[in-house]
Every structure is written in C-alpha cells, then in structure tokens.
Amino acid sequence: MKATTQTPGEAGKNWFQGTADAVRQFTWVFEDAKNTNIENVLILAGDHLYRMDYMDLVQSHIDRNADITVSCAAVGDSRASDYGLVKVDSRGRIVQFSEKPKG
C-alpha cells in the first residue's frame, strides 16, 4: 500500500488539481513498479469509503487482459449531477464521461 500525501513536494506549494492530477504527479510510482514483481496497481481515492471485494475486481481485470479497469456504481437520476458519470457500450467499455453534469 502506498499512501500519498496532499502534495508531492513542499507542503502547500503544489496542491493537486483533482484526483487525476494526483495520479499524474505520482506516475513515478508506476515506473518504480516496473522494476519489481508488481503486476497490478489499485488506485483508490482517499476521501471515499469503499465496501467492495477488490479481489473480484482485480480478477476480472486479469481475466479480461485489461490495460485499465474502472469501478463504477449506479446512481439515481436525482443524484446524478453530484458525480462523474460514465456511459458504457455493450461490452462494458467506457465510451463517454461527464464530470458532474448539470441538468
């Protein structure tokens, strides 16, 4: 487990500009993983509570020979604008993403 801090450098100078930016700024972790026997990396946001079996997620990722796997949960229309939304095709591949759409 690698717990990242809010900033990769001096505290308060390089605040992340969202979750994707935090991952981008820590890409060196993935480069380091290439030189070890690490085959899969699981990235979770630190400000969420998760109740899922990660082994099932990782096994599905391996079985599909996927490059990237994204876990999503369905939400009702009344709460949809509170979240990033994905649209998937018949094979479960993400074909569209909207960040907290309004309306």
- Longest alpha-carbon distance in the chain: 47
Mean pLDDT of the chain: 81
The pLDDT confidence band at residue 63, using thresholds 50, 70 and 90, is: very high
Closest by CA to 86, choosing from 72, 68, 102, 76, is 72
In a domain? residue 2: no
Rounded to 5 degrees, φ, ψ at 60 are -60, -40
In a domain? residue 89: yes
Question: What is this structure's pTM?
Answer: 0.66
Which tokens is 94 given?
């993400």
Is pLDDT of 37 > 90? no
In a domain? residue 76: yes
Q: Cα angle vertex 42, ends 37, 13, to 5°?
A: 105
Structural domain that includes position 86: 10-99
In a domain? residue 61: yes
In a domain? residue 75: yes
Which tokens is 14 given?
């390089």
The pLDDT confidence band at residue 28, using thresholds 50, 70 and 90, is: confident
Number of domains in the chain: 1
Among 2-16, 46-60, 63-77, the range with the most confident prediction by mean pLDDT is: 63-77
70, 94 contact by CB (below 8 A): yes
The pLDDT confidence band at residue 8, using thresholds 50, 70 and 90, is: low
In a domain? residue 4: no
